Amino acid sequence: MIRTFDIAVIGATGSVGEALVQLLEEREFPVANLHLVASGESAGRSLSFKGKNLRVRDVETFDFTNVRLVFLAAGSKVTQKYADQAAAAGCAVIDLASGLPAAQAPRVIPEVNPEALERLQAPYLLTSPSAPGIALAAVLAALPAQLAIQRVTVTACLAVSSRGREGVSELARQTAELLNGRALEPQLFDRQMAFNLLAQVEPTDSAGHAALERQIASELKELLALPDLQVAVTCIQVPVFFGDSLSVSLQAASAIELEQVYASLDAAPALEWVELDDYPTAVGDAVGQDVVYVGRVRAGLDDPAELNLWIASDNVRKGAALNAVQLAELLIKHYL
């Protein structure tokens, strides 16, 4: 008899939360009772799951002893407020907001470092890394080990859905205002987002780095088990609703064997390698898909030990919800 589990999705009415619910149904996750939970203003709404309309409950009054597994998809502050409470109730916790330190909830991607779960004890606390971190690590982990990557430089072009539903609404509003010849007053973003590129996605620290840029660098070192890897990250906001795109340059220890690289990327189950006569885009290829697309794979112009490539990935589905559900599948198969 198949075991089933009572599950809670905190942040169920957000874009990631809704994608989580959709994937739990699509992948026939063994759910006994699904509890949809959100903040007070969203409580009372209904979402569909397996042909039924489930009412969204208020997180302030939710009893975590009613569930075995909790997805936290409502932002880092919510994670910090409720993760310990859920763990104290005996729940396994999967955090999608990076609200917990890595020592408490290690970052895990099933295709990259599933062995990290072996070091944990119940109740299990895991972090699903950032969307750009997942896409980047999935590609780098698939490269031949003999490359001995020494340095990674990445420019992450992030969709406005990285800012939640508010980001999508703001880009749509700004676009409509401009196309109708009306004066634009930015609200969520600090300046015009529509038909524009913003050189940073959030405020920076005294050294000029955004928290997400530092987070991606830290994630990559942890996921690849390369603590001495040199990583440079620049995150920019682009006027795309869904789907992140990353321009990546790698420095290897010796000259790149491109045929070896092509074969490794082509064989990786979580990737879709696009050959040099074509290239992937977020909107045309990655959105709605469960793989990371990688293309424009080429050696450096002047340095044979340099490898350049382009990555496109659905930041909500693949870069958040799917990774979290796959982590839950690992937990219930081997640990719960």
Q: pLDDT tens digits, residue range 210-256?
A: 999 999 999 999 999 999 999 999 999 999 999 999 999 999 999 99
Q: pLDDT tens digits, residue range 281-298?
A: 999 999 999 999 999 999
Average the pLDDT over 93-120 and give the result.
Answer: 93
CA angle (215, 325, 138) in 5-degree steps:
50
* 155 and 112 share one domain: no
* 251 and 296 share one domain: yes
Query: b/e map of 234-251 (b: 16 or more CB within 10 Å)?
Result: bbebbbbbbbbbbebbbb
Please report the DSSP string for 281-295 in residue order.
-IIIIITT-SSEEEE
**Has residue 158 got a pLDDT over 80?**
yes
**Has residue 151 got a pLDDT over 90?**
yes
CATH of the domain at 141: 3.30.360.10
pLDDT at position 44: 80
pTM: 0.94
Pairwise pLDDT comparison (40 vs 105), residue with the higher score: 105
* 82 and 210 share one domain: no
Q: How confident is the model at residue 48 (pLDDT cuts 50, 70, 90)?
A: very high
Q: With the C-alpha atoms ordered 38, 42, 44, 49, is the resulting torsion angle positive or negative?
A: negative
pLDDT at position 69: 97
* 121 and 172 share one domain: no
**Mean pLDDT score of the chain, rounded to an integer?**
95
What's the number of domains the chain is made of?
A: 2
* 177 and 198 share one domain: yes
Q: Residue 136 corresponds to which tokens in the numbers above?
A: 């980047």
* 30 and 120 share one domain: yes
Residue 123 preceded by cis peptide, ω within 30: yes
**Has residue 19 got a pLDDT over 90?**
yes
Average the pLDDT over 289-310 and give the result.
Answer: 97
3-state secondary structure 111-152: CCCHHHHHHCCCCCEEECCCHHHHHHHHHHHHCCHHHCCCEE
* 145 and 162 share one domain: yes
Query: Are 107 and 96 contacting, i.e. CB atoms less than 8 angstroms apart?
Result: no
Average the pLDDT over 147-159 and give the result.
Answer: 97
Q: Which domain holds residue 111?
A: 5-128+320-334
Q: Give residues with Cβ within 8 angstroms of 159, minimum separation 6.
A: 167, 238, 240, 241, 242, 243, 244, 282, 315
CA angle (103, 105, 106) in 5-degree steps:
75
* 179 and 296 share one domain: yes
* 171 and 290 share one domain: yes
- Taking the C-alpha atoms of residue 54 and residue 44, their distance in angstroms, rounded to an integer, is 9
Nearest by Cα to 37 from 9, 60, 64: 9
Query: Are 315 and 161 contacting, i.e. CB atoms less than 8 angstroms apart?
Result: yes
Q: pLDDT tens digits, residue range 134-144?
A: 999 999 999 99
CATH of the domain at 90: 3.40.50.720
* 295 and 149 share one domain: yes
Query: Are 34 and 21 contacting, i.e. CB atoms less than 8 angstroms apart?
Result: yes
Query: Are 314 and 242 contacting, i.e. CB atoms less than 8 angstroms apart?
Result: yes
CB atoms within 10 A of CB 114: 14
For the chain, what percent of residues have pLDDT higher than 90? 91
pLDDT at position 202: 95
**Has residue 335 got a pLDDT over 90?**
no
- Taking the C-alpha atoms of residue 279 and residue 312, their distance in angstroms, rounded to an integer, is 10
DSSP 88: H
* 284 and 141 share one domain: yes
